């Protein structure tokens, strides 16, 4: 496969970020996580960050025009020439259309949309127990992956905090937003023959194995 242009779909907390990290290690393509890009913008106090913050804190989506611009620039950058992994984008049909336009204008096409799926109750349990280190974003879970010293990062000793939008009420709202605005993309990509589905309740290694097998099959099909 000459290029690997992948998007990751799925509810918040399904494990998209974990799988994206692994794909990045496997394929050496840049990884663009919209949520990370926006959180960095908020931290730096850029115009994008100032505009995005209130939506993010409420668990609402940031307006399409703001996020589309960011991703279209990334997809069109030199480092993404051989492909990219997008996590958390697109999240609406308008975003998916904008991405399709950007990819087509470069004479390229998407390789696959990987949908990592998990029931709402699992997502709520995973996200409401998630803690992140303040300094470098290392991720823990109070129940499933606790740090050695409660409240502090094993890797850099900085304090662990809960993301504003990981509080249970906000997680429930993010899930509603996912069902209303992002789930239609499952059909959108299925119609285009790009959708591949994975069970996000499985262990991360297992999900990763399934994704690799799927990508290997796609590569074989492309060579036929």
The residues assigned a catalytic role are 16, 91, 130, 163, 174
Rule CB under 6 A: choose which of 6, 7, 8, 38 binds ligand AMP: 38
DSSP 63: P
Output the CA torsion 97→98→104→105 (10° steps): 150
Q: Print the binding letters for residues 129-168 with ligand AMP: x by CB under 6 A, - otherwise.
A: ------------------------------------x---
56 within 8 A of 40, measured Cβ to Cβ = no
29 within 8 A of 78, measured Cβ to Cβ = no
> Rule CB under 6 A: is residue 188 a binding residue for ligand AMP?
no
Rule CB under 6 A: choose which of 8, 41, 48, 56 binds ligand AMP: 56
- Using CA atoms, how far apart are residues 40 and 49, in angstroms rounded to an integer? 8
Backbone angles phi, psi at 38, to 5 degrees: -70, -40
> Rule CB under 6 A: is residue 67 a binding residue for ligand AMP?
yes
Kindly identify the residues of this chain, within the stretch 74-113, that bind ligand AMP according to CB under 6 A. 88-89, 91, 95
> Rule CB under 6 A: is residue 127 a binding residue for ligand AMP?
no
Q: Print the binding letters for residues 1-20 with ligand AMP: x by CB under 6 A, - otherwise.
A: -----------x--------
Residue 112, C-beta contacts closer than 8 angstroms, at least 6 positions apart: 6, 7, 194, 195, 196, 214, 215, 218
Segment interacting with ligand AMP (CB under 6 A) among 60-68, 99-107, 113-121, 131-139: 60-68
**Residue number, 60 or 82, with CB nearest to ligand AMP:** 60
- Give the up-direction half-sphere exposure of residue 41: CA atoms within 13 A in the CB hemisphere: 20
Residue nearest to ligand AMP (CB): 35
- Using CA atoms, how far apart are residues 188 and 90, in angstroms rounded to an integer? 11
Residue ranges that bind ligand AMP, judged by CB under 6 A: 12, 34-35, 38, 55-56, 59-62, 67, 88-89, 91, 95, 165, 174
């Amino acid at each position: 496969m000459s290029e690997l242009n992948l998007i990751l779909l799925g509810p918040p907390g399904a494990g998209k970020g974990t799988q994206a990290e692994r794909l990045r290690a496997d394929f050496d393509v840049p990884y663009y996580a919209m949520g990370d890009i926006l959180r960095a913008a908020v931290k730096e106090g850029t115009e994008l960050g100032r505009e995005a913050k209130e939506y993010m804190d409420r668990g609402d989506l940031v307006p399409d025009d703001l996020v589309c611009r960011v991703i279209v620039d990334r997809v069109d950058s030199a480092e993404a020439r051989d492909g990219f992994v997008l996590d958390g984008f697109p999240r609406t049909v308008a975003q998916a259309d904008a991405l399709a336009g950007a990819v087509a204008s470069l004479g390229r096409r998407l390789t696959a949309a990987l949908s990592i799926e998990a029931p709402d109750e699992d997502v709520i349990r995973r996200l409401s127990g998630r803690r992140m280190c303040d300094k470098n974003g290392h991720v823990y879970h109070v129940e499933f992956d606790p740090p050695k010293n409660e409240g502090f990062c094993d890797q850099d000793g900085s304090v662990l905090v809960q993301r504003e939008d990981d509080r249970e009420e906000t997680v429930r709202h993010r899930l509603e937003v996912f069902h209303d605005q992002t789930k239609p993309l499952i059909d959108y990509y299925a119609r285009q023959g790009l959708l591949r589905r994975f069970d996000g309740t499985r262990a991360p290694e297992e999900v990763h194995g399934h994704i690799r097998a799927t990508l290997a099959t796609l590569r074989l099909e492309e060579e036929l």
